[in-house]
Amino acid sequence: MSLLPFVFVAFVVGGLSLVTRPYRRWSASFGLVGLVLAIVTAALVGPDEPFVVAGGALTGTSFARLFLLIGSVAGLLLCLVAMSTTWPQTFPGATLVGLGGAALALGVVDTGTAVAAATAGAVVGILLTLIRPVSQRGLIVAARELRALVVAGALGLAATAAVAGPLAAVRLNPELIGLAYLAFAVAVAIRLGAIPFHLWAARVADAAPEVGLPLIMAWGPAAFAAVALAWADGAVAPLGQPLGLERGMVILIGVVSIGLGTAAAAAHDDLEHIVGYSIVADAGIILLGIAVLDPAAWEPTRIWLLAFVAGKSAFAAWAAAVRATFGTHRLSELRGWARRAPVLALALVAIVVAGVGWPGMAIFAARASVINLAVTGPLANAVLAAALASLLYYGRLFVTGVLAPGPAVLAGRETRPSAATFPTRFSPAVLDDLRATWTANQVAISGAVVLVLASVAVAVSGGGLGVREAAAGLPPAIGAPGESLTPANPFEEPSSEPEPTIDPRASVEP
């Protein structure tokens, strides 16, 4: 029941923002107010009894609360960054609807419904790729994105149908269980843009604004992956099939994504591509978590999911702020950026801490746990080293930043706050003064907002805000009603619905 206000706000106000997008101010106002309301309603979400609606059930969980809370806060902060950089008119509305879809996906008991909700919420994100005036290239990219989203959703729906209910073990061929598992894992790989399914994601990184990348490439796919993880651990793992070949293929996709994604991020010159491929690389860890098929991977993978979305939101916001400050997105033209924008440099330090972690931080332990559970032997060390190699592209950004400033950086906007136009006393022109202050300090404000977002990411990666407890809780498909904070054996938790049984009339064999 606690999830309903959030879902209502997200869909209604988000829809209003999208419908009124020809009227820029109305659309932005609806979106910003909606995001504030979303933060409030997300904070009210909590573990509760399932709310039965139309034969299905919705229930709040700690994980859903944290996911939606971080998503709403990140969405609002990204809006602030966008207001001072480039404002995509559909951004707040698409963010709200996307978060509404994620709320449904994380709250419904039935996995098939969750897949449909996660897909529907994400499809709205293609509006972010269509920036007016819409170019032919933008259309092609949006079409590819739509194709990837729907194909992944259809694969997920078919997979969940094939392994439906606890009787799957007695009525399904083992090969088909493996096929369904592989189909859903591939669907997650497509959504996350994992290599070799990364082409659509790479093009989106070209076409979509930086602030839109987290919604398209991180938030939506993360909700989809959370559903897949719950399904894999709750429906496939109890069937007791080894699925060696299928798991091996998923692990291969994950490892390749980590390695090649990191290499591509380190090699590219565009900030958008660096952000995009860093998302692809970190998505490899999520795939490894899905490949484990063991309750031990449940908590670390969900910790990684939360840290992933928070960290990548901050990284995308940083890229947007840098581009707006210096007017270029090419790293080769950004020599000396850190000298001119120390707040952004500090924010990048926080982003590195949030993305890479430090021994003792939740994200650091989660990454190592997932890799050690998925890969054994010396290969585990190699994969861990590849995952930590993200320091390479972060280091490249820093090295470029401390060099002598280049022409683009020297010609960039002033990053220090200006108090010249700040209203000192109340007068009828106070609104004009405030507007002038905002305009004069846009760059400084965006830098400060990025720093706040990066600090949130550090808190999440460090295990604060109740991340560990939320990640250890059970999803509604397994553990409703309520949650357990002890993930030792989540499958012993009683289900909210009566266990299906074979009809005795049908089981009578002649």
Partner 1 sequence: MNLLLAAVAIVVVAGGVIAVSSRESRPAILGLTLAAVAAPLVADPLPDMLPLASRLVAAILGGFLLWVAVRGQPATRGSRLGWPVEGLLAAAAAVAGFGAIGIVAPGPAAEVLVGAGRAVVAPREALAAGFATGALAIGPIFAGRDVLRLGTGLVLAVLAAQLVRVGLAGSPSGLEQIVTAGLTVVVAGASATLAANAVQSGRGLEPSTVPRPAAGPRPAAEPGGETGEEASPRRFGPRSAGRRSLPGRWGRR
| Burial class of residue 43 in the structure, from the number of CB atoms within 10 Å of its CB (0-12 exposed, 13-18 middle, 19+ buried) | middle
Q: Determine the distance from the C-alpha atom of residue 236 to the mean position of all C-alpha atoms in its chain, rounded to a whole number.
A: 24
Residues 147 to 176: which contact partner 1 by CB under 8 A?
Answer: 147, 150-151, 153-155, 157-158, 160-162, 164-165, 167, 170-173, 176
**Under rule CB under 8 A, residue 123 binds partner 1:** yes
Helix (H, G, I), strand (E, B) or coil at 486: coil
51-59, 362-370, 398-406, 449-457 -> range binding partner 1 (CB under 8 A): 51-59
Give one DSSP letter per residue of 350-373, joined into a string.
HHHHHHH--TTSHHHHHHHHHHHH
Residues 6+ apart with CB under 8 A from 424: none
94 CB contacts (<8 Å, ≥6 apart)? Answer: 14, 18, 124, 125, 127, 128, 212, 215
**Which one, 171 or 413, has the nearer CB to partner 1?**
171
Interface segment toward partner 1; rule CB under 8 A; list 137-145, 243-251, 377-385, 392-400 = 137-145
Site size with partner 1, rule: CB under 8 A: 58
For the bound state, the minimum distance from the C-beta of residue 116 to partner 1, rounded and expressed in Å, comes to: 5
Contacts 24+ apart (CB under 8 A), 502-510: 502/167
Out of 112, 259, 406, 473, the only residue in the binding site for partner 1 (CB under 8 A) is 112
The answer for residues whose C-beta is within 8 angstroms of residue 15's C-beta and 6 or more apart is 93, 97
The nearest distance, CB 13 to partner 1, in angstroms, is 17
Q: Which of 44, 140 has the CB closer to partner 1?
A: 140
Non-local CB neighbours of 25 within 8 Å, separated by 6+ positions: none
Strands (E), 292-420: none
Site for partner 1 in 441-500 (CB under 8 A): 497-500
Return the residue of 38, 64, 79, 130 that touches partner 1, per CB under 8 A: 130
CB of 388 to partner 1, least distance (A): 37
**Identity of the residue, 153 or 284, whose beta carbon is nearer to partner 1 in the bound complex:** 153
Q: How far apart are CA 99 and CA 35, in angstroms?
A: 10
Beta carbons within 8 Å of 474's beta carbon, 6+ residues apart = 61, 480, 483, 484, 487, 490, 493
Element containing residue 445 per DSSP (H, E)? helix 442-461
Site pattern 176..195 for partner 1 (x: CB under 8 A): x-------------------
Residue 142 interacts with partner 1 (CB under 8 A)?
Answer: yes
Residue whose CB is less far from partner 1, 173 or 424: 173
Q: Does 143 bind partner 1 (CB under 8 A)?
A: yes
Facing residues of 330 across strands? 270
x/- letters, 489..508, toward partner 1 (CB under 8 A): --------xxxxxxx-xxx-
- Residue 120 is a binding residue for partner 1 (CB under 8 A): yes
Q: Which is nearer to partner 1, 240 or 500 (CB)?
A: 500
Would you count residue 134 as binding partner 1 (CB under 8 A)? yes
Calculated CA dihedral for residues 135, 140, 146, 151, nearest 10 degrees = 180
Return the residue of 9, 124, 286, 317 that touches partner 1, per CB under 8 A.
124
Contact between 110 and partner 1 per CB under 8 A: yes
Question: Does 119 engage in binding with partner 1 (CB under 8 A)?
Answer: yes
Residues 91, 35 contacting (CB under 8 angstroms): no
* Interface pick for partner 1 out of 1, 4, 43, 146 (rule CB under 8 A): 146
Task: Please tell me whether residue 58 adopts helix, strand or coil conformation.
Answer: strand
CB-wise, 492 or 503, nearer to partner 1?
A: 503
Q: What is the CA radius of gyration of the chain?
A: 23
Using rule CB under 8 A, residue 350 touches partner 1: no
* Contact residues for partner 1, defined by CB under 8 A: 53-58, 104, 108, 110, 112-113, 116-117, 119-120, 123-124, 126-127, 130, 134, 136-137, 139-140, 142-143, 146-147, 150-151, 153-155, 157-158, 160-162, 164-165, 167, 170-173, 176, 497-503, 505-507, 509
